[in-house]
Amino acid sequence: MAIIVQKFGGTSVADAQKIRRAADRVIKTVKNGFAVVVVASARGKQTDQLVADALELNPNPPKREMDQLLSTGEQQTVSLFAMALDTAGYKAISFTGGQIRMITDNVHTKARIKSIGAERIHEQLNKGRIVLVAGFQGIDENENITTLGRGGSDTTAVALAAALGADECEIYTDVDGIHTTDPRVFKTAAKIEQISYNEMLEMASLGATVLHSRAVEFAKKYDVKIHVRSSSEETEGTMITHEVPQMEGVLVSGATIQKDMAKLSLVGVDNKPGNAAKIFAHLAKAKVVVNDIVQTEVSSEKANLSFTIGISDLTAAKEAVGQIKDEVNCESIFTREDIAEISVVGVGMRTHYGVADRMFGALAEAKINIDTITTSEIRISCIVDKAQAEKALEAVCVAFDLDKPIEKRKN
Amino acid sequence: MAIIVQKFGGTSVADAQKIRRAADRVIKTVKNGFAVVVVASARGKQTDQLVADALELNPNPPKREMDQLLSTGEQQTVSLFAMALDTAGYKAISFTGGQIRMITDNVHTKARIKSIGAERIHEQLNKGRIVLVAGFQGIDENENITTLGRGGSDTTAVALAAALGADECEIYTDVDGIHTTDPRVFKTAAKIEQISYNEMLEMASLGATVLHSRAVEFAKKYDVKIHVRSSSEETEGTMITHEVPQMEGVLVSGATIQKDMAKLSLVGVDNKPGNAAKIFAHLAKAKVVVNDIVQTEVSSEKANLSFTIGISDLTAAKEAVGQIKDEVNCESIFTREDIAEISVVGVGMRTHYGVADRMFGALAEAKINIDTITTSEIRISCIVDKAQAEKALEAVCVAFDLDKPIEKRKN
């Protein structure tokens, strides 16, 4: 029997009524002839409450104990969910991460999955039961409870779909799918029907928050079809799959806006082999996550080096760069915090000309100055003034018809 | 290093302030040179809330899922408790029942302990850590979470004390120890300094609610000293131990009052071998827990048979007895619900005369009629009208000086 994994986020199971509605979804899928495995997050604000309880006792709680505490939220949801299915006449059984041997490394609060025991789930599915698995959690090899960090329940769902050989992994959420851009900024953003893992990865790492990039990476690696859809509406959502030929016909699949970032520039660094390596080794040691890097030669001996980081890393980055400044003979350092990054993403740009052109043109027409440009194979990003960020995103969205369904866009 | 197990009930860990106070207790014991293992219950009304959440979704929730749900309450407490100890500068580690291999049978919601893995706890204690164990829970041999039912955390604590070879098991509660009787009825009830397991068992099964009889049975079986004491005051509480010679010098250790009971009488049952067995087999099949049984011959062929039960079992008991009525040739059945049982308990009555005498005299003087009398080696119980129950208890307490310390009682 074909298996479907269905993941319900915290807002979709926030109270009894919502759990019942989610249970109805599951039952409908069972009636359609599928074996269903449900992954659920903690109810509504439960995790926030537990975090507050912890911080009241300890401003810096030990991570192992945090995992021990927070994992209870998902455990509660899946047992309650099983009870709701039972009332409706469906046999169901709930499991913690530990009970299905979701083995992770021992990096508490952001553990990575090492293996999953699929046997116990298959055994229960074969008995005709609906299986519920607490998302976000696992155990290390010493039975310590671990959690997977941000987007953890999505990752649990995708990993289970991979381990079980499921047909599809459905992610139920409070939006009706992935949109071409953030609808809070560009209100008429169109829903994407289909998007490739690579595009979704770029968009997720650029600030699209519907799905965490770790879950997408997992899906890409194990070829799991993800269907992001609404928990309150019956409509089809967005399918995230391997690249299919027709995807190349679309110039740009989506656009993103990223704030909360900063740029550090090292002016007049000695352009010698190994200098860049030294700088980034220093930053890595200070646990600064570096996003885009741009280096340009300014003379035969000197180069300017810029990179972007999350704003929360700025202090650590400044300190790290300050320590290495003299060693690489850097003339001066300057930072910008008043910036944002606008990107367009699309596998189509690999085979089409004119994408960069159209993006820069749209920004110019809107009188927006571009600070830095970076590109990847399927992405173009421009750093602009933060104050102009929304205006810039809108201009780009309009230029690429991101408010229209694919068939109505000009190419 | 000597080990002490300290158990904190739900009211003793209800909020952050109370958890901190409980942590201070633990730290004090560590400073006194002991290795400490803490067992904690769910915070305050958490379990009630979870039960309400469950019933909102399912009026008859599957027991396995109930255990999966309710066990989270204790897990939350112990991780928060560990965080409180960490803030205070003490290394601590919390465990669920499953993590320390608290293996039980698979009778969900009232499982019985089969074995405990003491190694992991010893290992952590040897590292100088305070170990916290979630009370009330275990796992069966298939890693399903089970709970131990009423008084479960007390049982966890005593069982751990036995498995670890602890010096003592301290039960912290909101009263300062065991009293000669319920202070809500007889306000001047004296605190008992020392009481034997057998006396405590009689008192617990007769309605003394401070400590559950399962925990006491466990302690008796494995010779674990229990110290019941106040979580808010520094005073010594009550030691529950094996019988020591001086205990015999006390006529009566305590008195109990039990309401919520009913009596069923079968009048004129054929007095043939096997009839009583038939009746009680029928009751057992209907899962009725029978307390005291009294049978008296009324002629060479006929006997009257009475027994007491909890009032919640009355309907089931009536039905069971109704089915067997004709088979045992019973003339009539009558029930009483307006009754209560007053008992006195004491190992001293094994070697002293006049206890029954004094009890019946006290009741007579207070003009209280006795319906039924039953006795065990260390107990005398009288069934009286419910309306006179408090008055009866008071009369008995005064007769045995249960408001005075032992040395001031008349023997």
- Confidence at residue A353, expressed as pLDDT on a 0 to 100 scale: 80
Query: Residues of A with CB below 8 A from B146's CB?
Result: none
Pairing of strands A290-297, A302-310: antiparallel
A241 located within any domain: no
| Residue at A102 is within a domain | yes
B295 interface with A at CB cutoff 8 Å: no
Residue in B65, B71, B84 nearest the CB of A58: B84
Q: Is the pLDDT assigned to residue A208 strictly greater than 80?
A: no
Evaluate whether residue B166 is within a structural domain.
yes
Same domain, A164 and A17: yes
Among A38, A50, A65, which would you mutate to test the B interface (most chain B Cβ atoms within 10 Å of its Cβ)? A65
| CA–CA dist A371, A383 (Å, integer) | 5
Q: Which residues contact A5 (CB under 8 A, 6 or more apart)?
A: A36, A37, A38, A39, A157, A158, A160, A161, A164, A166, A168, A169, A170
Boundary of a domain, candidates A174, A195, A219: A174
Contact A68 B16 (CB under 8 A): no
- A411 pLDDT more than 70: no
Number of domains in chain A: 2
DSSP code at position A149: -
Please state the three-class secondary structure of A349-409 as a single string: HHCCCCHHHHHHHHHHHCCCCCCEEEEECCEEEEEEEHHHHHHHHHHHHHHCCCCCCHHHC
Using the Cβ of B64 and the Cβ atoms of chain A, whether some distance falls under 8 Å is answered with yes
B17 shares a domain with B111: yes
Q: A155, A174, A193 — which closes off a domain?
A: A174
pLDDT surpasses 80 at A20: yes
Mean pLDDT rounded to a whole number for chain A: 93
Q: Is A143 on the interface with B (CB under 8 A)?
A: yes
* A147 and A10 inside one domain: yes
Residue A158 domain-assigned (yes or no): yes
Are residues B11 and B147 both part of a single domain?
Answer: yes
Question: Which domain range does residue A269 map to?
Answer: 255-400
Contact assignment for A84 to B16 by CB distance below 8 Å: no
Instruction: Tell me, yes or no, if B68 comes closer than 8 A to chain A by beta carbon.
Output: yes
User: What are the residues facing A304 on neighbouring strands?
Assistant: A296
Q: Looking at the structure, tell me whether residues B33 and B169 fall in a common domain.
A: yes
Residue A221: inside a domain: no
CA of B123 vs chain A CAs: smallest distance (Å): 13
Tell whether B309 and B161 lie within a shared domain.
no
Subunit contact B57:A98, Cβ cutoff 8 A: no
The answer to whether residue B107 sits within a structural domain is: yes
A61, pLDDT greater than 90: yes
Last residue of a domain, one of A174, A190, A217: A174
pLDDT digit string, tens, across residues A165-191: 999 999 998 888 999 998 888 999 999
Q: Which DSSP state fits B210?
A: S
**Domain-embedded: residue B235:** no
Set of chain A residues whose Cβ sits within 8 Å of the Cβ of B50: 76
B249 vs A53 pLDDT, higher one: A53
Query: Residue A94 and residue B68: Cβ atoms within 8 Å?
Result: yes
Length of chain A: 411
Closest CA of chain A from B156, distance in Å = 19
Judge if B9 and B138 occupy the same domain: yes
Q: Which CATH number goes with the domain that contains B122?
A: 3.40.1160.10
Q: Are residues A167 and A297 in the same domain?
A: no
B164 shares a domain with B28: yes
Query: Which residue does chain B place closest to A133, by CA atoms?
Result: B68
Listed by number, the residues of chain B in 4-43 with a beta carbon closer than 8 Å to a beta carbon of chain A are 16, 19-20
For residue B123, which residues of chain A lie inside 8 Å, CB to CB?
none
Q: What is the mean pLDDT, run by run of 10 residues, along chain B of 411 residues?
A: 95 95 96 97 95 97 97 98 98 97 94 94 97 97 93 94 96 91 91 93 79 90 95 91 85 91 93 87 89 87 91 92 92 94 91 87 94 90 95 95 88 67
B101 belongs to a structural domain: yes
DSSP A21-85: HHHHHHHHHHHTT-EEEEEE---TTHHHHHHHHHHHH-SS--HHHHHHHHHHHHHHHHHHHHHHH
Q: Are residues B152 and B273 in the same domain?
A: no
Per-residue pLDDT of A252-263, as tens digits, reads 999 999 988 999
In sequence order, what are the residues at sequence separation of 6 or more whose Cβ sits closer than 8 angstroms to the Cβ of residue A155? A113, A148, A212, A214, A215, A218
pLDDT (tens digit, 9 = 90+) per residue, A363-380? 999 999 999 998 888 999
Contacts of A86 in chain B (CB under 8 A): 58, 61-62, 65
> CATH number, domain at A272?
3.30.2130.10
B51, B69, B102, B141: best to mutate for the A interface, most A CBs within 10 A:
B69
